[in-house]
Amino acid sequence: MVGLQEGMCPGLDGGLLRSLLAADVKTVEDLVSSDLEEVAQKCSVSYKALYAIRRVLLAQHTAFPVSGADLYDELLSSTAIISTGNPSLDKLLDSGLYTGEVTELSGGPGSGKSQVCFGVAVHVSHQLKQRVIYIDTTGGLTASRLLEMLQSETSDRDEQMEALQRIHVFRLFDAYSLRDRLSTLRSGGLLQASGGGSVKAVIVDSVSAVISPLLGGKQNEGMSLMIQAALALKTMAKDFGVAVLVTNHVTRGGRGEVQPGLGASWSHIPRSRILLERTDRAPSGCSSTLRSATLIKSSRQPCLIKEELDLQWWSRSERRSSGKRKRDEADS
């Protein structure tokens, strides 16, 4: 609700404002939806003046329709696909994270969600040389782990430092600061936060850690905070052309099957959803780093396709992995 204020538009001076308030027209919505002839009579102003004010206020506050052809052209030029760095995950996501969309990664404890987020952050900052905003709500991010992952990509100290500098970390531990931080980022703080560079990925690990304690019970504030944070993420993704990756916990559904948490209202927010699980099979000693990822919601691929991820070798680049395997074989 936007309140009426003096000087909001030409013609809305103090005297007219006072008579409108006296006639119980306090907000822009009231003025726009009221019967102008009646209000003109009550406030003894000319119908023409009120009509002109209404037209200007509508023009200031409405969203304007865009033709489908223009929107499509704009999307073609601004959408990019950010590779996650892991070829199996890319295949699942139809070649990577799309900018302008929210992708969700859900899984139980120890299923590797944070590791996947680290891998994506390291890949975007090192290989793609773009900035990343990482919002950590669980305290699981350590710079030493990021450095370790970078060291397996390159041995040049300067490159490692540069890549670390491109990852901007915000630590928050409650839902209100999350909402406030996202609103600040959305209304222009994105450029400031990244020091002027172009941000291509925003990772929130995890959304459910701060929101789920507020859900349930009879109060609505938790749901409202969740939707506000979700809208801020979506608007940020669309307006700034960034790819948003969020993580979520899991719960059990009615039939005992594993499903992502945060309820039915959150389930409409992400465009694509992936479920991470530990694999049951145990090949010779490497079972701890294998995970299976299932695509449970996508607008581009048939659902329920599975891929296996090995968290140990994130990028699996040909040159590096063959080099490391030879060294391992020589060791063992």
Partner 1 sequence: MNESGTQLLARLEARRCLKDIEPRLFAEDEGPRHGEVVELCGAEGTGKTELLYHLLCRCVLPEAAGGLEVDALFVDTDYSLDMLRLVSILDSRLSSAGLEEAALRSSLSRLLVVHCSSSSQLLLTLHYLETTLNSRPSLALLLIDSISAFYWLDRCEGGASISRQEEKLSKCAELLGRLLRDYKFTIFATCHTIRRSCSGLAASRSSTLEADRPYLCRPWQRLVTHRVLCSRQEAENHTAGGSREEKRQVFRVHCSSSSSRTKASRISSFCVTDAGVQFI
How far apart CA 106 and CA 260 sit, in angstroms, is 6
SS (H, E, C) 157-200: HHHHHHHHHCEEEEECCCHHHHHHHHHHHHHHHHHHHCCCCCEE
Residue 237 contacts partner 1 per CB under 8 A: yes
Q: Output the smallest distance, CB 106 to partner 1, in A.
A: 13
Query: How far lies 292's CA from each of 75, 108, 110, 311, in Å?
Result: 32, 12, 13, 10
Residues 175, 206 contacting (CB under 8 angstroms): no
Q: Is residue 79 helix, strand or coil?
A: coil
How far apart CA 324 and CA 329 sit, in angstroms, is 9
Q: Output the smallest distance, CB 79 to partner 1, in A.
A: 7
State the Cα torsion 177-266-93-131 to the nearest 10°.
Answer: -10
Q: How many whole angstroms from its chain centre is CA 44? A: 50
**Between 123 and 271, whose beta carbon lies closer to partner 1?**
271
**Between 203 and 262, whose beta carbon lies closer to partner 1?**
262
Residue 173 contacts partner 1 per CB under 8 A: no
Candidate residues 113, 126, 234, 291; the one interacting with partner 1 per rule CB under 8 A: 234
CB atoms near residue 132 (< 10 Å): 27
Residue 179 contacts partner 1 per CB under 8 A: no
Retrieve residue 247's tokens: 């993580």
Q: Output the smallest distance, CB 30 to partner 1, in A.
A: 10
Among residues 260, 309, 214, 239, the alpha carbon closest in space to that of 103 is found at 260
Candidate residues 6, 24, 148, 221; the one interacting with partner 1 per rule CB under 8 A: 221
Q: Output the smallest distance, CB 132 to partner 1, in A.
A: 21
How far apart CA 135 and CA 114 sit, in angstroms, is 12
Pattern 89-108, binding to partner 1, x per CB under 8 A?
A: --------------------
Per CB under 8 A, which of residues 11..50 are in contact with partner 1?
28-29, 32-33
Residue 330 contacts partner 1 per CB under 8 A: no
Candidate residues 299, 329, 331, 332; the one interacting with partner 1 per rule CB under 8 A: 299
Retrieve residue 278's tokens: 């530990």
**Between 153 and 307, whose beta carbon lies closer to partner 1?**
307
Per CB under 8 A, which of residues 45..84 are in contact with partner 1?
58, 61-69, 71-72, 75, 79
Q: Output the smallest distance, CB 29 to partner 1, in A.
A: 6
Among residues 230, 210, 209, 226, the alpha carbon closest in space to that of 102 is found at 230
Region binding partner 1 by CB under 8 A among candidate stretches 3-11, 142-150, 151-159, 264-272: 264-272
Among residues 161, 81, 77, 170, the alpha carbon closest in space to that of 125 is found at 161
Residue 214 contacts partner 1 per CB under 8 A: no
Residue 271 contacts partner 1 per CB under 8 A: yes
Positions touching partner 1 (CB under 8 A) are 1-2, 28-29, 32-33, 58, 61-69, 71-72, 75, 79, 220-221, 223-224, 226-228, 231, 234-235, 237-238, 253-256, 263-265, 267-269, 271, 296-297, 299-300, 302-304
